[in-house]
Amino acid sequence: MKNILVIHQAAEMYGSDRMLYLTVTGLDKTKFFPVVVLPQEGPLKTELEKQDIKVVVAPVLKVYRSMFTPKNLIRFSKDIKKGIAILDKLNKQYKFDIVYSNTLAVLLGMMYARKRKIKHVWHVHEIIVHPKIFAEAYPKLLAKRADVVICNSQATESNLVNRQPSLSKKTVVVHNGPAVSKSQREAATKEDFGFSQQDIIITLVGRISRLKGHKWLLNTFTNYLQQTKAKLLLVGSPVPGQEFYEDEVYEIVQTEGLENKVTVLPFTKSLKQIWDVTDIAVMPSTEAESFGLVALEAMLAKKPVVASNHGGVTEIVVNNETGYLVEPSNEGEFADALLKLINSADLRKELGEKGYERAIAEFSPEKYIANISSILEG
């Protein structure tokens, strides 16, 4: 039995949170005993505890852009002492064999593993290209402070190894593998969300942020799709402190008179009913994302996907087979792909079916857990 200290950056149920849940609940309980440390209360903590996973709230030393002020640096220093003290109490009880840091955003695992000389596995879910200081610093940090680096895509691995070639000796790619939804909730109808049955629903699931492409989608819709039967469903909330991105979305909606064409909903941990009413899923990220979990979940729901042709999503979506990959920020190309799908129910069904088959064959949760378990056993 290996006892694993798992440290994660948030307690929500977005992409990396859902994969953390799958990881710790999917591990063989006769071989592994995970203890999860989260920075606050939240739905992830609730769901983990329902599965009898021990969860502790403590400072995880999360990196954020405004941390480099005198006040925040003082708080960070205090959090280091507090976090290590909490981990020492846990380690005294469980004698951890492995520290598993999930995402680059948390530094507590790196510090504690080094301090107590425990094997450190760092699971990277990000492609960082700016700020440049972070983009250059993290690969060096991984090279020095991680025994194994798990990358969630080849794109993530390439971004790190290109900056720090020595990392090639300790990195391994493990693609995410979410499970097919087994929700018992009754299937939703378009009318449940205020749409008509004739509407073609284009859905973007993800935080309202700089890189998710909300403005690109809205501008494409305004300039090319207003005369079609398409309507937009945006599901997600802004990062706390970055509500201005949400304000920008509403400003476009109001300025362009799209109030009856665009529905914005806060994020929900259960996406089944969202996919029930979706005809086309989009992932129009303006910057390369490390994986593209939303695209994979849409494929598992048999929805065709239109996504930006960069980052990890290019390892998921097969162009012209399970959806379309389009040049980032190119409104015309984005519109052409969407119009093909808007105008053909048969094409939507064909690409959706092929996407489902690919997702099941290549990105199963069983394969994901087997790969993670092999690394933790090694």
Distance CA 317, CA 335 (A): 18
Average pLDDT over residues 349-377: 97
Per-residue model confidence as pLDDT tens digits over 139-152: 999 999 999 999 99
For 123-189, give the DSSP string: EE-----SSHHHHHHHHHHHHHH-SEEEESSHHHHHHHHHH-GGGGGTEEE----PPPP---SPPP-
> For residue 67, what pLDDT is reported?
65
pLDDT band at residue 41 using 50, 70 and 90 as cut-offs? very high
Annotated domain spans of the chain: 2-177+364-377, 190-362
Average pLDDT over residues 61-83: 81
Q: Are strands 119-124 and 98-102 parallel, antiparallel or unpaired?
A: parallel
Interacting residues of 117 by C-beta distance below 8 A, sequence separation 6+: none
pLDDT band at residue 343 using 50, 70 and 90 as cut-offs? very high
Distance CA 158, CA 315 (A): 13
Residue 185 has pLDDT above 80, yes or no: no
Is CATH 3.40.50.2000 the classification given to domain 190-362?
yes
Q: Does this chain's domain 2-177+364-377 share its CATH topology with 190-362?
A: yes
| Cβ atoms of residues 142 and 120 within 8 Å | no
Per-residue model confidence as pLDDT tens digits over 4-18: 999 999 999 888 899
Per-residue model confidence as pLDDT tens digits over 216-239: 999 999 999 999 999 999 999 998
Six-digit token string for 205:
């699931």
The CATH topology of domain 2-177+364-377 is Rossmann fold (3.40.50)
The pTM score is: 0.91
Distance CA 358, CA 304 (A): 12
> For residue 265, what pLDDT is reported?
95
pLDDT band at residue 183 using 50, 70 and 90 as cut-offs? low
3-state SS assignment for residue 233: strand
